[in-house]
């Protein structure tokens, strides 16, 4: 026997709409067997004219006496979900209504309405917390573009989920208030209320949300699969990152190493990352020593180091904002100069005694290089020009 499940009308308190929907399905030969918060389950059979009624029980369990009383009146209990109970009866039987006094029925919904109000307040608090966490995460160091480009965009989906939850509980709150008000005014529930329009909007919203969640899950899976950190090879320079030996150009330069578990050299490593916005991202750190050479202040053996960050963007229009975020994140004190360049689209430099920080953008490529040593700026820019040529298109 064939079975199907269909997305529920989002608002559980639309009793009339649900009752009419179940009846329309029965006319087509699909008879209700079970309901869940998201889906209703139907079983195929002979098309029948069946009327449905939804009743509530404040303690989530309807008494056997009430069920027996409804059964004797011609209403067969089909299924329940929480406090919702669904009954059916052949239309030709003309079974009497479960409730004949709307005001009394409104009273039975009083406790449920209060519980829904508490649930709404809890959801609002949860949404406020979610927004606060997202705001702190994105704007704590004032680098939202960098955070987004690195692929830390899962919070966007979290916020969308919270917003959808808030929309749902607010809609439910509004519906039960409207339902109780109508009943208190003596208006019986319209058991033949049109349902198609009310189901369309939540269906569209949930479809968008499911699509976003699925896309996020796929992106996260790809990111986890591709993300990697390895020790930089001593030689070979086919990666789009600047190497310390190219800048120092000193044959006496040797590595300063610090291995973790004999596998990863934390002072000479590179990491690869991926995101839909920037499918190529590298970060590298490199440290060296030139034996016999001292820092100018005689503080010890000359030990230059280098950090490089590289981003190849799918959307070059983001390069300026990314560059600005990199400057904000990496310039702690002192001034940074923006220079005109015939090579790069944008060029920012901070030069201090023994250190240089360079930020460049060209085409799809964005690079940040922090160098601690005595090489001149022209040499660093020359190396960056060579490397950014690998990713600018």
Residues 6+ positions from 18 with CB-CB distance below 8 Å = 8, 9, 12, 52, 54, 195
Task: Compute CA distances 51 → 12, 88, 93, 101, whole Å.
Answer: 18, 6, 10, 19
Average pLDDT over residues 2-9: 85
- Model confidence pLDDT, tens digit, residues 275-324: 989 999 999 999 999 999 999 888 899 999 999 999 999 999 999 999 99
Can you read off the two tokens belonging to residue 116? 């829904």
- Model confidence pLDDT, tens digit, residues 50-63: 999 998 876 667 77
* Measured distance CA(379)–CA(328) in Å, rounded: 24
SS (H, E, C) the chain: CCEEEEECCCCCCCHHHHHHHHHHHHHCCEEEEEECCCEEEEEECCCCCEEEEEEECCCCCCCHHHHHHHHHCCCEEEEEECCEEEEEEEHHHCCCCCCCCHHHHHHHCHHHHHHHHHHHHHHHHHHHHHHHHHHHHHHCCCCHHHHHHCCCCHHHHHHHHHHHHHHHHHHHHHHHHHHHHHHHCCCCCCCCCCCHHHHHHHHHHHHHHHHHHHHHHHHHHHHHHHCEEEECCCCCCCCCCCCHHHHHCCCCCEECCCEECCCEECCCEEEEECCCCCCEEEEEEEEEECCCCECCCCCCECCCEEEEEEEECCCHHHHHHHHHHHHHHHCCCCCCEECCCCCCCEEEEEEECCEEEEEEEECCEEEEEEEECCCCHHHHHHHHHHHHCCCCC
Q: Note the pLDDT of residue 10.
A: 63
| Closest residue by Cα to residue 28 from 12, 38, 42, 14 | 42
* Measured distance CA(103)–CA(25) in Å, rounded: 30
Tell me the Ramachandran region of residue 168: left when phi exceeds 0, alpha when psi lies from -120 to 50, beta otherwise: alpha
Average pLDDT over residues 368-385: 95
* Measured distance CA(340)–CA(321) in Å, rounded: 18
Check if the beta carbon of residue 184 is closer than 8 Å to that of residue 106.
yes
Q: Note the pLDDT of residue 262.
A: 66
**What pTM was estimated for this model as a whole?**
0.68
Average pLDDT over residues 82-101: 89
Determine how many CB atoms are found less than 10 A away from the CB of residue 5: 14
- Model confidence pLDDT, tens digit, residues 217-259: 888 888 888 888 989 888 766 889 999 999 999 999 999 888 7
| Closest residue by Cα to residue 106 from 168, 172, 188 | 188
Average pLDDT over residues 96-100: 86
**Averaged confidence pLDDT in the chain:** 87
Starting at the edge strand that comes first in sequence, how are the strands of the sheet with 30-35 ordered?
3-7, 39-44, 30-35
- Model confidence pLDDT, tens digit, residues 76-89: 999 988 878 899 99
Round the CA-based radius of gyration of the chain to a whole number and report it. Answer: 33
| Closest residue by Cα to residue 349 from 365, 363, 331 | 331
* Measured distance CA(6)–CA(38) in Å, rounded: 8
Check if the beta carbon of residue 219 is closer than 8 Å to that of residue 274.
no
Using the CB atoms, write b or e for 324-357: b if 16+ within 10 Å.
bbbbeebeeeeeeeeeeeeebbbbbbbeeeeebb
**CA-CA-CA-CA torsion for 149, 155, 161, 163, nearest 10 degrees?**
-100
- Model confidence pLDDT, tens digit, residues 173-199: 888 888 889 889 988 888 888 888 777
Instruction: Please report the sign of the dihedral spanned by the C-alpha atoms of residue 372, residue 376, residue 381, residue 386.
Output: negative
Q: Note the pLDDT of residue 120.
A: 87
């Amino acid at each position: 026997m064939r079975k199907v499940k269909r997305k529920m009308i989002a608002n559980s308190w639309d009793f009339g709409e649900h009752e009419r929907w179940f009846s329309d399905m029965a006319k087509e030969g699909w008879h209700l067997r079970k309901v869940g918060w998201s889906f209703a389950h139907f079983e195929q059979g002979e098309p029948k004219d069946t009327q449905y009624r939804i009743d509530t029980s404040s303690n989530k369990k309807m008494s056997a006496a009430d069920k027996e009383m409804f059964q004797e009146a011609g209403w067969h209990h089909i299924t329940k979900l929480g406090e919702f109970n669904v009954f059916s009866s052949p239309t030709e039987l003309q079974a009497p209504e479960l409730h004949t006094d709307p005001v009394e029925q409104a009273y039975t919904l009083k406790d449920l309405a209060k519980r829904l109000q508490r649930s709404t307040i809890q959801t609002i608090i949860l949404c406020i917390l979610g927004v606060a966490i997202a705001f702190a995460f994105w704007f704590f160091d004032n680098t939202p573009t960098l955070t987004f480009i690195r692929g830390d965009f899962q919070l966007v989906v979290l916020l969308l989920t919270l917003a959808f939850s808030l929309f749902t509980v607010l809609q439910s709150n509004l519906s039960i208030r409207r339902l109780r008000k109508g009943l208190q005014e003596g208006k019986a529930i319209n058991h033949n209320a049109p349902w198609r329009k009310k189901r369309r909007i939540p269906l569209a919203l949930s479809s968008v949300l499911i699509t976003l969640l699925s896309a996020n899950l796929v992106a996260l899976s790809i990111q986890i699969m591709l993300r990697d950190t390895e020790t930089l090879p001593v030689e070979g320079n086919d990666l789009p990152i600047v190497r310390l030996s190219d800048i120092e150009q000193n044959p006496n330069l040797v590595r300063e190493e610090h291995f973790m578990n004999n596998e990863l050299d934390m002072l000479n490593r590179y990491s690869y990352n991926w995101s839909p916005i920037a499918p190529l991202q590298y970060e590298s750190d490199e440290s060296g020593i030139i034996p016999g050479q001292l820092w100018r202040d005689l503080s010890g053996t000359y030990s230059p180091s280098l950090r490089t960050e590289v981003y190849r963007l799918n959307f070059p229009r983001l390069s300026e904002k990314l560059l600005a975020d990199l400057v904000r994140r990496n310039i702690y004190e002192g001034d940074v100069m923006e220079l005109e360049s015939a090579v790069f689209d944008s060029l920012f430099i901070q030069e201090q005694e023994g250190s240089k920080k360079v930020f460049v953008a060209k085409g799809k490529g964005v690079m940040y290089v922090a160098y601690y040593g005595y090489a001149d700026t022209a040499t660093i820019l020359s190396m960056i020009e060579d490397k950014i040529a690998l990713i600018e298109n």
